[in-house]
Amino acid sequence: MLKIVKTSIIIAASTLAFSNAARADGINDALANICTIVQADDKGELRKKMRSVQSDYRLKLRDYYAGVSCNGQSLIRTAVTSNAVEVGTLLVKKMPSKDLQAPEADGKTLQAWIAEQGLQDSPISAELNGRI
């Protein structure tokens, strides 16, 4: 009897570990071309991507935003440098204002980075300042 319980626990644990790994691979595949979408300023495609990730994996933008990097930059920074105004303003609107004020991977907030790059005239910067 104890042998059956141990075997069942081992099988359940290995199945759970495999499904979590498969889920992580699925999320990575789903988000694979999000940088290209942001750089191309394709707001409709970004909305579709965000909806599919939310329905398939129950993740909102704030859940995966920090984990996505486009050439070492966050999605909003990529939108600012690519002059992707529609996508950038959508991303700023979808992110919680608390997360917009938080330092990113390099320790700088979005506002500080925009000021450092001299991009204060960007419409995305204006939207960001309006949200914060």
Q: Give the mean pLDDT per block of 10 residues along the chain (132 residues).
A: 51 46 62 90 94 91 89 93 95 93 91 92 92 84
- Please tell me the predicted confidence (pLDDT) of residue 113: 93
Report whether 53 contacts 68 (CB < 8 A).
no
Structure tokens at 128: 């960001």
The radius of gyration of the chain from alpha carbons, rounded to an integer in Å, stands at 19
* 85, 88, 93, 94: CA torsion to nearest 10: 140
Name the pTM for this structure.
Answer: 0.77
- Please tell me the predicted confidence (pLDDT) of residue 14: 47
d(CA 105, CA 38): 19
- Please tell me the predicted confidence (pLDDT) of residue 16: 43
In degrees and rounded to multiples of 5, residue 73 shows phi and psi of: -115, 155
d(CA 79, CA 35): 9
Structure tokens at 55: 């329905």
Report whether 95 contacts 62 (CB < 8 A).
yes
According to DSSP, the residues that pair with 21 across neighbouring strands are none
**Residue in the structure block whose two tokens are 């966050």:** 74
- Please tell me the predicted confidence (pLDDT) of residue 132: 83
